[in-house]
Structure 1
Amino acid sequence: MPAVKQISHRLSTESKFLPNLERLVLKDMMALEELPSLGQLPSLKVLRIERMPAVKKVGYGFFGSRDQGKCLPSLEKLKFRDMPELEEWSWADGRRLFPCLRILEIVECLRLKRLPPLPPVETLRLDKVGLTEVAGLREGIHGGDSCITASLSSMEISQCLNLRNLEEGLLSHSFPNIGDIAILECAELVLLPEKEFKELTSLKKLSIRSCPKLLSMTRDGDIDIPLPPSIEELVLFDCGNMRLPVHRVSSSNVAASPETTSISEILEMCLTALRWLEFKDCKNLQSLPIELHAFPSLCLLTIIGCPEIQALPEKGLPTEE
């Protein structure tokens, strides 16, 4: 409907408006300037809003009357895609927004700088979003202050070109059930949270690709190894200098100054569950673990475009029977 500029809010405030509707797609409405009020649809489970070039904000009207406590009470999947002018996402404290949301995807919203505190989703995907930071999953969106992060199991952050660090907001909290993290093509990303990464005890798969300013996964300081020992699949593509500062303690129990340790030493010390290991275009990677016997479960080792590697491991390479 290329000429429609407005959908009446009165439609969705009627108590009998589409009471059984479970799936709604709003798409290619090129002239629509404001999203309709959908917050009181009682049975809606899937909502996709795509290619709305004139919409500039997700305003209070989208959620329905401020007097209503719950908003989209049955919604499980929410997706915004290709919203080039979307700049603002408003929310009100005390509202129960998306209490059943499991999957949140925001794609190609390059002007959107900030998200509201997120509900406890299971899957989060942010691709080509203009975020400077990623909001935390907080109960504040339900009216409290405590964190409720246990449900998050998979996260992908891709081509968020304004994102500089993940120490604040989302990754400043605990994620006991997260199993898969992908951080892809975030050109300005320079810092990952050291303490929080080490505590991701269920993390099985970590992919970091084309983050050339990601010079280290830790700061000089008090965390020895930032990667949790649960990791089974580690993929590193074009990730800076590949050397990690590690805080060592001398035999006299006096803290020494941080030393620089190669990624290979980090792998040997803590990632004994590795099954899949890939390096690609890591220009400053100089060495691999000396003995691959330290990784009894390793099934795949891939090295592409790493010209500074000086030697392969001495022992542990597979041989043909």
Structure 2
Amino acid sequence: MGELKFLQTLPIFIIGQDRGCGIKELQDLNLRGSLIIRNLENVMSRADAQEANLKEKPNLHKLCFSWGSWGHYIDLKLAGNVEETFEGLRPHSNLKRLEVKGYVGVRFPHWMTSLNLVEISLINCRRCEQLPQLGQLPLLKVLVIQGMHAVKSIGNLFYGDNVAEGFPSLEKLRLEDMPNLEEWSGFNGREVLPCLNRLFVVRCPKLTTLPCLQSLKKLKLKDSNEMLLGSVANLTSLSYLNIEDFKELRSLSGGLFPNHTRLLTLNIWGCAKLESLSRELGNLAALESLSVVYCDELVSLPEELQNLTSLQKLRIQDCKGLTSLRLQGLSSLKHLTIQSCKSLTSLMGGLQHLTALQSLYIMECPELASLPEDMQHLMSLRQLRIWHCDKLTCLPEWLKHVTTLEELSIWGLKSLTALPEWIGNLSSLQYLNIIKCDKLGCLPSGLQLLTNLDRLIIRDCPQLEKRCEKEKGEDWHYIAHIPDIEIGYTKSESESARGGKGCGRLLGLKRR
């Protein structure tokens, strides 16, 4: 490799012990862009590492140093040499991004805190007990710390000697898989990380508090200590909050959202034992998006939800304990998804007031036998998807008044025996999808009135497919005017001639 004097692009170099596979091969190459150097355990000394001549490669902007299988199988007797080796890998000061994987030394090299790095990732450096003084890097914007099992605290040393200027540019920080991290403090109680706007804390089971982070906008907490949620109350600048995989969490207690006037998005995912949501949710006046997903023990939503007059998107999914749902007062709601709520038997009053609703998805709710009959005022509704609701025997009567509807998708309605004649009232309908409705025996003649209907899919409906056979079926004359038709798994000749433009719509109907 070293003989390729004009080589400039080398994405990855794997160091071996055979002739021609040593790190010295990089010495005279004028490389540019990014480079991954793997199997650095095969570099035996600082002098050998220096032969790579990385500090004389000004056009390398991203470097990844990797030891073994990310440090899992390296003989720890070599750890002393590893530290010296790493010192010898000093890159040029032009380097912008550095990734370190599987480093088994105890200390990081001194040069790491003297470069103009913009992004650093430290991954599975399992023996390092202290983080390097990265707060001294004036241009650092992104920092990922993952799998550093020996680190117990983050404090003054992390911020650097001049804490008043520590991390002056850091915008994104990720702490992941830190099983022994117990403490993360500021500097004498003062605000730190002045520009930090995104923080992700994942699998940190012993960490119980966060420092004061007044500029933080986006926070994701996942599979960590339940006590960590108490810090959310002080982070009033948040616009995005994700609470995920707190498997023992039973309630989002009071005091969590005392004054979060800027919070726009709240996601609560994978809290299997969560029984109740805080009534303080009603205080989130600016909230625009709320998702509650995989919360098996959740029985109901708080009545205070009706105070969320700015809410535009609501998603309730895989909440197996939810038996009924009452939604009212949500005058700004545009998108509502109710999915995989296996015990849900009724949608109670209030839905008729969702006058801004544009899309309604009700999917995989096998115990839901009917939809409310007071929803005729949904005059903004554009999309309606009803999938796998086994007990639903008919489409709701109110739907005939929703002349704004553009897409109607019914999928897996095992008890549905007929479509109503009033379907012809849906004058704006463009897409109609009927899939896996075994008991549907025929189509209504009202389909002939839908002059805007551009796309029809009928699939896995044996009786309908036979009756809609092109030019032969008894119902063909109801649908012959539709430009794109798919019956079963074949397209009509008119669609084939146009290049199958309707395929993308069908793909969009797949479960997300």
Into which bin does the TM-score normalised by the smaller protein fall? 0.7 to 0.9
The code of the aligned residue for 1:228 comes to L
1:86 equivalenced with 2:159 (yes/no): no
Aligned length: 284
> In structure 2, which of residues 108, 117, 130 is the aligned counterpart of residue 7 of structure 1?
108
Give yes or no for contact 2:191–2:211 (8 Å, CA) kept in 1. Answer: no
Secondary structure of the residue aligned to 2:316 is strand
Secondary structure of the residue aligned to 1:265 is coil
1:74 and 1:130 map into 2 onto residues whose CA distance is 28
Give yes or no for contact 1:291–1:316 (8 Å, CA) kept in 2. Answer: no
> In structure 2, which of residues 159, 168, 178 is the aligned counterpart of residue 73 of structure 1?
168
CA shift for structure 1 position 137: 5.6
1:59 and 1:284 map into 2 onto residues whose CA distance is 53
Aligned to 1:109: 204
1:298 equivalenced with 2:381 (yes/no): yes
Alignment of 1:63-212 (within 5 A): 63-65=159-161, 68-134=163-229, 135-136=231-232, 138=234, 148-149=236-237, 152-168=238-254, 170-176=256-262, 178-194=263-279, 196-212=280-296
Alignment of 1:218-233 (within 5 A): 218=302, 225-226=305-306, 228-233=308-313
CA shift for structure 1 position 115: 3.0
Percent of residue pairs bearing the same amino acid type? 35
Change (3 A) 1:77 1:207: same
Aligned to 2:335: none
Change (3 A) 1:157 1:296: farther
1:288 equivalenced with 2:374 (yes/no): no
1:295 and 1:230 map into 2 onto residues whose CA distance is 18
2:210 and 2:145 map into 1 onto residues whose CA distance is 16
1:22 equivalenced with 2:96 (yes/no): no
Summarize deviations over 1:161-210 as a string: whole Å, max 9, x none.
Answer: 2333334454232233x33222111112223222x433434333222111
Summarize deviations over 1:236-294 as a string: whole Å, max 9, x none.
Answer: 11223244689xxxxxxxxxxxxxxx65424334x433333344555765653324433
Change (3 A) 1:85 1:224: closer
Change (3 A) 1:282 1:186: farther
Aligned to 2:137: 41
Alignment of 1:246-265 (within 5 A): 263-265=347-349
Secondary structure of the residue aligned to 1:136 is helix
Aligned to 1:53: 149
> In structure 2, which of residues 322, 340, 345 is the aligned counterpart of residue 241 of structure 1?
322
1:265 and 1:85 map into 2 onto residues whose CA distance is 49
Give yes or no for contact 2:204–2:225 (8 Å, CA) kept in 1. Answer: yes
1:216 equivalenced with 2:300 (yes/no): yes
1:160 and 1:207 map into 2 onto residues whose CA distance is 15
- Whichever of the two has the greater Rg, that structure is 2
The code of the aligned residue for 2:240 comes to S
Change (3 A) 1:169 1:43: farther
Alignment of 1:304-319 (within 5 A): 304=387, 312-316=395-399, 318=405, 319=426
Aligned to 2:351: 267
The code of the aligned residue for 2:104 comes to A
Give yes or no for contact 2:136–2:166 (8 Å, CA) kept in 1. Answer: yes
Give yes or no for contact 1:237–1:280 (8 Å, CA) kept in 2. Answer: no
Change (3 A) 1:23 1:230: same
Secondary structure of the residue aligned to 2:397 is coil
The code of the aligned residue for 1:153 comes to S
CA shift for structure 1 position 107: 2.3
Give yes or no for contact 2:257–2:283 (8 Å, CA) kept in 1. Answer: no
Which moved further from structure 2: 159-168 or 307-316? 307-316
Give yes or no for contact 2:144–2:175 (8 Å, CA) kept in 1. Answer: yes
Change (3 A) 1:305 1:206: farther
1:63 and 1:157 map into 2 onto residues whose CA distance is 27
Summarize deviations over 1:103-141 as a string: whole Å, max 9, x none.
Answer: 111223344344334433222222222334522263xxx
1:286 and 1:203 map into 2 onto residues whose CA distance is 31
Aligned to 2:419: none
Aligned to 1:143: none
Change (3 A) 1:200 1:55: same
2:389 and 2:318 map into 1 onto residues whose CA distance is 9
The code of the aligned residue for 2:322 comes to N
Give yes or no for contact 2:151–2:180 (8 Å, CA) kept in 1. Answer: yes
The code of the aligned residue for 1:136 comes to V
Which moved further from structure 2: 45-54 or 90-99? 90-99
The code of the aligned residue for 1:211 comes to C
Unaligned 5+ segments in structure 1 are 139-146, 247-261
1:96 and 1:131 map into 2 onto residues whose CA distance is 23
Bigger helix share = 2
Summarize deviations over 1:86-110 as a string: whole Å, max 9, x none.
Answer: 3432334532211111111122334
CA shift for structure 1 position 4: 1.0
